[in-house]
Structures are given as C-alpha cells and as structure tokens.
Structure 1
C-alpha cells in the first residue's frame, strides 16, 4: 500500500506546473468536493498557539453542531490526555477562539455551554448602523376619463362592472419590507480606490563605473542562487542604481544577495517587482562616521572657589582672597563715620 501511495505522489509531483523549489515543502493541492472544513491561516499559522491547540481547534471546528466538546468527551475520542486537552482549551479561550460559560437549565441542572468562533478577529470589526426603511411613496390618484364629473347624476352600473370596479379600488396588500441587516464594514479598499505611489528606488550619491559594474554583476548572478530570479537586461539596467546605493553604504555583496534571495514567495510571478520592493524597503542606513560615534563634550561650568576672610576668617566664594561681604560693609561704615 505504501508503494502505491509513493508512486502516486511521484506521478503527481511530475505534473505540477512551473519550477519546483530545491528545498522545503512542496504542496500537491487537490480540491475537496465533500467532507471538508475551511480553516484560516490566522489559526493554522498562529504563533501564539501550540500545535496541540491548533489541532484541537481544527478538530472542534469540524464537529457538527451540538457535539459535546468537554475535556472528558474529547479525551475519550483523542489520544491526548485530559491535562493536555485542558491546557489547549485554555489557550484557545485566551486567544478568543473559545468561550465557556456555566448555564442553569430549567430543571436546575448546571451545564457548561461552549461557543467556538472560527474567526474571532471578525467580531471586533465595527458594524454599520441599520437605516430605517424608507416610507413607500403613494402616487396621486389618476382621474378616470370615463368617471362622471362631481355633481352630475350617477347611473348604476351593471353588476359585473360593479364587481370589477370594486376589485380595482381594493387597496393592495403592502409587500413585506426587506430586513436591513447591519453588515460588517468592508475593510479592504475597493479596486477603484486611488493607490499610493510607490517610493522611488534608492540612488547613490555618485554612480561610478566600478559601482555600476559591481551592481550589474550582482543582479545577473542572482539566478545562480535562486533560479526564480531570472532578470532581463532592462530589469538589471533599472535596478543597478539601487544596488549601487547599497554598495555605496558599505554593504557586503553577500548581505545584499541574502536580502534579495531569502524566503522567496512560491510561485514568484514578478521577480523584478519583488527585487524593487526589497531594495527600497530593506536598504540599510549609511554607516556612522568617526565623529558620530564620539560622545558630545559637555561645556564646563566655571565654579567660584572658596576664600577665607582676612578679618573674620569666614569662608566665602570669591575669585581672589580678601574680606567677606559683612567685613567689607563694616569697614565701609567705619570709614564713613571717620
């Protein structure tokens, strides 16, 4: 049985379109037609949840409405123990996927009610307020040209004509107004929304011949390290100044190559656009100069030294020796009195 499965996988692998990655996972996606559950990447790739919690959330999401998903009920159907299941349920509850409340039934029994939401972030989106239904506009009555004028003597119509007139004059039953539910606010901009202009490619201060030659060689050599990055001569000519700006900022070629070839999307449809984005968004700042790394020199504050008064031997601040202020004042009064 394993040999048949391996043969089928190998045959399906040869039928995949486009070049395959040299390493990493390769997906063989076969469309489900029955018995499937849609799981969002926000859950499958959640970095804050353990693998057990993610798997338990997928299992709960696939169960029909009303299935018991208590700790003991899950432990009876799964190979994990009750402690591991309880910890996973607490993780899902902390991240908003699960909510457990205790409810009292009419017979007095207390049960645990569990609510699971497959996309808890959608509950936080604001809603549009419901608008009241518009009043129906009733058109003004149209005067029948065959109707008699007011004040004129009326002659009775035949019975069949009177029945038809009664059916025409009977009021129509109003149609039920459609319920206007408050939909979620669409956070994705419409296709007609104006797009923000993309930032320009970085340019070097001076595009010398050596920088241009090194940048062109680095771009042309990328396909040796990532076969998806096959660039045309026109693409290399447009991207070379940006690579030269990286080299001008003392960035090693290996560092530039790693930034451009690391974690490429699969499949890669527009290599030149991806490189343009990375060269613009990931460019490092210029290296600081020697003066930028020197600590700033703080200005020194001149401090007036202490002096000893020649008269009273009291300490006072003064740039030169002499008398303190009190002695100078007393000496001035003595001289004035003399």
Structure 2
C-alpha cells in the first residue's frame, strides 16, 4: 500500500500565498479563536536558553493564575525528570523570566511563591511614551451665573469662623516668594540588558566600506596592464564581463597589485576563484577582493638580511709576574692576591720606618 496522504494538508498548502520556498520549513498559519497563548520571539528564539527551558516557559505561561508550578507539580505534568526541570527553572530565573521567593504566613509557615514574567525586558526598559500629543477632553460648559432679582431680599451673610491665635509669621518682601527647598533625587544607574542580540537592528548605522587601494604613482604602463587584465577576465570566467566604466573604476586597484609585484596570473586567479552562485554583482565582488586581499609590498634586500649579532668582547688570560697564576685582565701584570699582598707589605714597611724615625728623635 502507498503512503496515505492528508488531503486537508494538501489543500492548505495550495492556499498558501506566494511561491513556496525550495528548502526549509513551510508555515501554514491559521488564526486561533480559543485556547491560545501569545509567546514573544524573544523567548521562542532566545540564544542562551535551552529548548527545555523555552518549552517549560511556554507551559508555565499557558497555565491559569494560581496553578502550582513547583518542581514536583511540573514533573507530574511533563515527561521530563526533576533534574531537567530544575535546571530549566534555574535558566529562566537567571534570565529574568522566573522569580522565586519565600513568604512567611501568620502561623510561622513558610511557602515558596513563584512569579513568571512573559517579557522581562519591558520591566528594565519601559516603552517610551508615544510622541502623539493626546487630545484634551472638552471642558464642561460653564453654567451662567444667576441674574439677581432686584425685588428679592438680600441673603444674610454667614458668621465669620473664629481663628485661634498663633505665632506671628515673618514678613515676606513684596515681589518675592517664599524659598522652596528641593532635594535632588538620586539618578538610578541604567539597567544592564538581559542579552545582546547578535544581529544588529535594521536602523543601526552601517560601517562605511574601505576605499579602493590606489598606487603611489599610476604610470601609463601600470594603467595599460591593469586595463588589459580586467578586460581579459571574461575569457577565463564569462560571468566577469565588465563594462568600460567598471574597468576604468577598478584599474587603479589592479595597478596597486601590479605595483607590489603581484603576478598577473595570481591576480586573475584571486579575483575569479570560486565565485558565489549565482553571481549577481561581479563588480562588488571584485571591489571586495581587491581591497580585502591586497598583498603587502615585497620586502627589500636590507629587510631580508639577518640582523648582526652583538659583538662579545672576551678578556684574555694573563700570567701573574709573582705567582705564575693565570687570571683575566686586558693588560699583563700581577693577580689580585699578589697586588693586595704587595700593598700590605709596603704599608707595613712604611709603618716600621716611621717608628724607627720617631725612636731616634
């Protein structure tokens, strides 16, 4: 028997507007009339939440108020075990969707309360008020004051209310008002975002593209060789058939490659190797490759020469004149021990001579 087909699904696919995608998922969107829950893409496509945490968040969001959502209760409702549910709840709590706190009842009983927020980013980043100016409500029509009747008797004035005496107030000079004491309110620090989106929004400023490389000196020979290389690309890759304006615009960049001693075959292979299919904008691809893959200038002979090693001066060996012992010294003579011994003897001989002169005197 052949595979049974769902005729309702086939009929729904036929009613999908627009051409169907050649790959990927196909959505059949039917409007819900009852028993549905609105889930934001910030939760359904959260980059840091696991699929278990996302599914558990949707399950908790669909439950009515007052439903128990403890680990035991969720384990009884779901097929996952206690460890996976506890880990998913910790993920939701770390990203602000879930909050658990303990509440003490009057009878010294402590219970755990759970709060779930379907959009935690709205708590830290409130929406700005709309720029539209609200239309003021029409003021009620004021009633006209009654016209006094000249023949009616005047109403008696009410008795004045007695005011108890109090301390006298200091006089305020004319033309001035009493000073007001204003306490500056502390400015709260800006809240940190829950997560940073990887894709920038469409309104984000775009980074300007780098300019095409220019040669130091565009000689007629370089310009002629660059123009010939760009015109010859269509022989090797027909999709790189360029117009005269495009060749004139790209010629200085190719001349820069030639100025840096790049071989024409290397330039041609770099520009036409493995283009995307289908290639819709060959000029943009050539601009990108000429700018991003520009090789550095070739080093000179002095740059490639090995650096000279520092010259190490070695002190030669000398033979002591007194003890014939070898020692290092730039000049011949005596070693350090012989010099110290000779100086000590001379100093002692000078002392004995001085003592004999004093005794004779």
TM-score normalised to structure 1 length: 0.51
- 1:56 positional shift: 0.9
Alignment deviations for residues 233-286 of structure 1 (CA, whole Å, 9 cap, x no partner): 99x969x959x989959646465417x98xxxxxxxxx87xx969976997443
Residue of structure 2 in register with 1:286 after alignment: 294
Residue of structure 1 in register with 2:68 after alignment: 68
- 1:62 positional shift: 2.4
Residue of structure 1 in register with 2:84 after alignment: 84
Instruction: Mark the CA change 1:253 to 1:280 in structure 2 (over 3 Å): closer, same or farther.
Output: closer
Instruction: Mark the CA change 1:105 to 1:10 in structure 2 (over 3 Å): closer, same or farther.
Output: same
CA distance in 2, matches of 1:103, 1:278: 67
Instruction: Mark the CA change 1:278 to 1:210 in structure 2 (over 3 Å): closer, same or farther.
Output: closer
State yes or no: 1:211 paired with 2:211: no
User: Residue 249 of structure 1 contacts residue 287 of structure 1 at CA under 8 Å; is this kept in 2?
Assistant: no
CA distance in 2, matches of 1:98, 1:303: 72
Q: What number of residue pairs does the alignment pair up?
A: 245
Give the gaps of 5 or more residues in structure 1: 129-155, 167-181, 188-193, 221-232, 262-270
Residue of structure 2 in register with 1:315 after alignment: 328
1:224-239 aligned at under 5 Å gives the runs none
CA distance in 2, matches of 1:95, 1:76: 25
3-state secondary structure, aligned to 1:314: strand
Residue of structure 2 in register with 1:6 after alignment: 9
Residue of structure 2 in register with 1:257 after alignment: 276
Give the gaps of 5 or more residues in structure 2: 129-148, 159-187, 194-202, 215-222, 258-265, 347-361
Residue of structure 2 in register with 1:112 after alignment: 112
Instruction: Mark the CA change 1:10 to 1:37 in structure 2 (over 3 Å): closer, same or farther.
Output: same
User: Residue 53 of structure 1 contacts residue 91 of structure 1 at CA under 8 Å; is this kept in 2?
Assistant: yes
Residue of structure 2 in register with 1:153 after alignment: none
Instruction: Please report the RMSD computed on the Cα atoms of aligned residues, expressed in angstroms.
Output: 5.4
Alignment deviations for residues 293-327 of structure 1 (CA, whole Å, 9 cap, x no partner): x99955522221132233363234x5xx7458969
- 1:70 positional shift: 1.0
CA distance in 2, matches of 1:212, 1:34: 66
User: Residue 317 of structure 2 contacts residue 328 of structure 2 at CA under 8 Å; is this kept in 1?
Assistant: yes
CA distance in 1, matches of 2:290, 2:123: 35
CA distance in 1, matches of 2:155, 2:274: 95
Alignment deviations for residues 91-127 of structure 1 (CA, whole Å, 9 cap, x no partner): 2223332222222122322111222233334444499
CA distance in 2, matches of 1:121, 1:202: 40
CA distance in 2, matches of 1:11, 1:80: 38
